[in-house]
Each structure stands twice: as C-alpha cells, then as structure tokens.
Chain A
Amino acid sequence: MKKLFLVLLLADAAMLAYAPVLIVNAPYEATMGLVQKIFYFHVPSWMAMFTSAFVCGVASFFVLFTTRKTADRVGAAAAELVVVFGLIGLITGPLWARKAWGVWWQWDAKLTSALILWLIFVAYLLLRRYGGAGSEKLAAAVGLFGTANVPFVYWSVNVWRTMHPTTAVVPSLQPGMRGPFWFCALAFLGLYVVMLTLRVRLENRRAELETLYLAVED
C-alpha cells in the first residue's frame, strides 16, 4: 500500500511537471487564443472537486449508518479538498471569463451551481470547526444532504439561467487539444488521490496520538 502510494506520488509529480509543456504545444483556440489555455487547469480542478464531493457523500453515509472510524476521516479530508479544488476553479474561472466574456462573473447555470456546491462544503467545514463536540456526525448529515442536493441545484439553476459552454464541449474538442486536456484531468485526479491519502493519514496519526495520551493519563 505504501509502495503504491509512493509510485502514485512520483508519477503524479512528473505528470504535473510535464503538463505545462503539453499545454504550450497544444493548438491555439481560434477565437480566444492564449486565454483558452487556462481551460487545461480549470476544468480538471472542477472534475477533482465533483469527485471529492461524491467521495464525501459516500463517506458521510458510512459515518451515519456504520461505526467505521475511518469514514469520518475520509469525509473530512474530502470536504476540505472540495473547498481547495473549488477555490482553484473559482479563481481560474473569473480570470478566463474576464477575457472571454468581458466580465468577471456571470449568473450562469454552471457557475452558480458550482458556487452553491462549494458553499455547502464550506458550511460542512464551519460546522466541524465551530460546532463543538459531536459535530462530526452532524457534519455527516450535511455532507449527505449536500451530495443529494447536487441534481436539484443543477436542474433548478439550469432552468434559471444558461450561457456557459455545455458539457458537450469536451468530446468536441480539436484532436490537438484533447490529449493535453485528458492528461491534465488525469494529473489532477492523481493529485486529488495523493492529497486525500495524505490527509486521511494525518487524521489517523492524530487519532493514534489521542489514544496514546488517554492511555498515559489513565
């Protein structure tokens, strides 16, 4: 398990180091030119965020309905990563939008629903941080509700407003762009797995330390 993690860590580091080379060599998009290159990091960070939200939802389910200790740690780690990757998306998005649409922010379906989902997981972290003892279980309910909410948020915001390129953009990419894009997507998902593993490991260590302290006190 440890060896596998090390291999993944090295491979992902190499991929992220090589990604800029691929992005530079990819063809320019006809109307947007250089700005469009941000797409190679923007979309993969959203992919990592949605994966993480799903992981947090599943972990929350296990927290509520089983007594597995690790589920709670995975849930917390995944929620933190939703916020981190979401923040990358929320920063790269407006930078791109400023050049492509002329405004920093649009009340568009994808932007709004991503922001709402991001806020739900910020709320999850706030509850864990300031809720006091026993808030882990309560946070799990928020995680479960938040994940169940995704289709409702998506549908309602979609009917309300739409202007962002649809998801059909990715399969219709030019051949020269497709390779670098999937490479970056894979690199970001690898990065996500690495960070999640490290974060869960940290929580495990903390729990061990806690038990040791208690043992000494007794």
Chain B
Amino acid sequence: MTFLQTVWLVTRKDILIEARSREIFFTTLFFAVSCVLVFAFGFVREGKPVEDAAAGILWIAIAFSGTLALGRAFERERQSETLRALLIAPISRPALYVGKLVGVLMLLAVVELIVVPLVAVMFQAALFEHALLMLGLLVTGTIGFCAVGTLFAAMLVRARSRDVLLPVLLYPITIPVIIAGVRGTAALLQADVDLPMARAWLSMLVFFDVMFITLALWTFEPVMTE
C-alpha cells in the first residue's frame, strides 16, 4: 500500500465516522460561534468594533475551536482503543499522522467556511477584499496550528489529564501562528491596506508549516512507540 493510499484510508475513516454522527462538527461550530459572541462583548464599543478586533476574534475562535476538535478527534480513538489498532496495523506511522491531520483540517475548513463570513458580517470586516491573501493566511495558519496539534493530541492519548495538557502545550508553541494570523489579517483589514506586510506574514506561516510538519513526521514514530 502506498503512502497516499494509507493517508486516504485513515482520512476516509474519520470523514465517514464524522458524517454519520456530525458530533465534532456541530459542537466545534457552536463553540466557535460562542467564542465570537463572547469576545464581541469585550471589543465592541458603542456598537462599533475597536480597531483590529475582527482579526483577533477570528483567530482566537479558530484556535480555541481547533483545540476542541483535536481533543475530540483523538478522544474518539481512545474510547474503543482504535488508536492502538491503527498503530498495530502494518502501515507507516507518518502516513497515519498525515491521515489524521488531513481529517482534522477538513473539519476545521468547514467550520471556517461558516465562521469567517460570520465575523465579516458581524464586525463589518472586509475579509473578502483581498480574498486570495486571506485564503492563504487561513490555509497556512490552520495547517500550522493543526500540524503541531495533531502530534500533541495523538501523543497525549496515553497521558493522564490530557484534556488540560493539550491547550497548555499547544498555545505557547503555536503563538507564532497566532501572531502571524492576527497581524496578517489585521494588515488586510486596516484603513490603508498593507499588502507587503500581509505577504511577509504569509511567508512566515509557510516556513512554520514546512518546519513543523517535517519535525512532526520525524517525531511521530518515536513518540507513539511505547
């Protein structure tokens, strides 16, 4: 079985389970929308959002709901010991990692498909003005966040107090992603759009993704071996 076939099988399994129950999708989406709502009370003054609020709220909603999705995706594997079964299967470990990563990414992409327009409408943010750059920031930012998150969530399956430890480990390490996402988006939203700045952040995110996916592929094998 080739690498890509394995990836597809693992991803397809996750999509099938999710399509039947839609549990993670609905809970994550509802959580993301609640996040946006809660932050609105902090950052809307006299009916108008404060400067840069939309960019910050959008990325915090993505990061928070992403953590929730990551935790649930692996909790599901733990309940019936299916992660152990996957690890015993004669497939390459990196393919397993990529398969899970793609599954989580697709889920978050669907959530973002709803949350991004919602933020644009509720905060009068011109998120679709420079749609391609915005899309690039969203894609690379989500990949960077999930690349680290998938590895950590997978390895924490065996740990005690995993629910608390996932955000504790994930947020300090993904801070560059959050900064790049927020500042890149803010550069696109401000009164005089700063395209070179947005591009600089985008390229930082690409570097981050390449570096951390490589590291994760490399460490997944030893970390998942008991």
Contacts and interface: CB of A to CB of B under 8 A. Distances in A.
A137 to B, nearest CB: 6
A130 B163 CA distance: 11
Nearest to B156: A138
B219 A64 contact: yes
Interface string A131-168: 11011011011101110110011011101100000000
A134 B172 CA distance: 22
A90 B6 CA distance: 48
A142 B158 contact: no
A87 interface: no
Given A148-B212, A152-B204, A131 B222 contact: no
Given A64-B222, A153-B175, A159-B183, A145 B155 contact: no
Contact of B159 (A134, A156, A160): A134
Contacts of B223: 64, 137-138, 140-141
Given A120-B173, A142-B173, A148-B212, A130 B180 contact: no
A127 interface: yes
23 contacts: A64-B219, A64-B223, A120-B172, A120-B173, A123-B169, A126-B165, A130-B164, A131-B156, A131-B159, A131-B161, A132-B159, A132-B160, A134-B158, A134-B159, A135-B159, A145-B148, A145-B212, A146-B173, A148-B212, A152-B176, A157-B179, A159-B200, A160-B183
B192 to A, nearest CB: 18
B176 A119 contact: no
Contact of B215 (A126, A137, A148): A148
A213 interface: no
Contacts of B148: 145
A40 B212 CA distance: 36
B183 to A, nearest CB: 6
Contacts of A146: 172-173
Interface in B176-226: 176, 179-180, 183, 200-201, 204, 207-208, 211-212, 215, 219, 222-223, 226
Given A145-B173, A148-B212, 10 more contacts: A131-B160, A132-B161, A138-B223, A140-B223, A141-B152, A141-B155, A145-B212, A152-B176, A155-B204, A159-B201
Nearest to A149: B173
Contacts, number: 88
B159 A138 contact: yes
Nearest to A132: B160
B204 A156 contact: yes
B176 A153 contact: yes
A156 B215 contact: no
Contacts of B226: 134
Nearest to B214: A148
B137 interface: no
Contacts of B204: 152, 155-156
The CB with the most chain A CB atoms within 10 A, among B151, B152, B169, B226, is that of: B169
A116 interface: yes
A156 B161 CA distance: 31
Nearest to A124: B169
Nearest to B170: A123
Given A134-B158, A138-B155, A127 B165 contact: yes
Nearest to B226: A134
A153 B173 CA distance: 9
Contacts of A149: 173, 176
Nearest to A135: B159
A57 to B, nearest CB: 11
Contacts of A137: 155, 222-223
Given A120-B173, A131-B161, A145 B215 contact: yes
A131 B165 contact: yes
Nearest to A155: B204
B168 interface: yes
B96 to A, nearest CB: 16
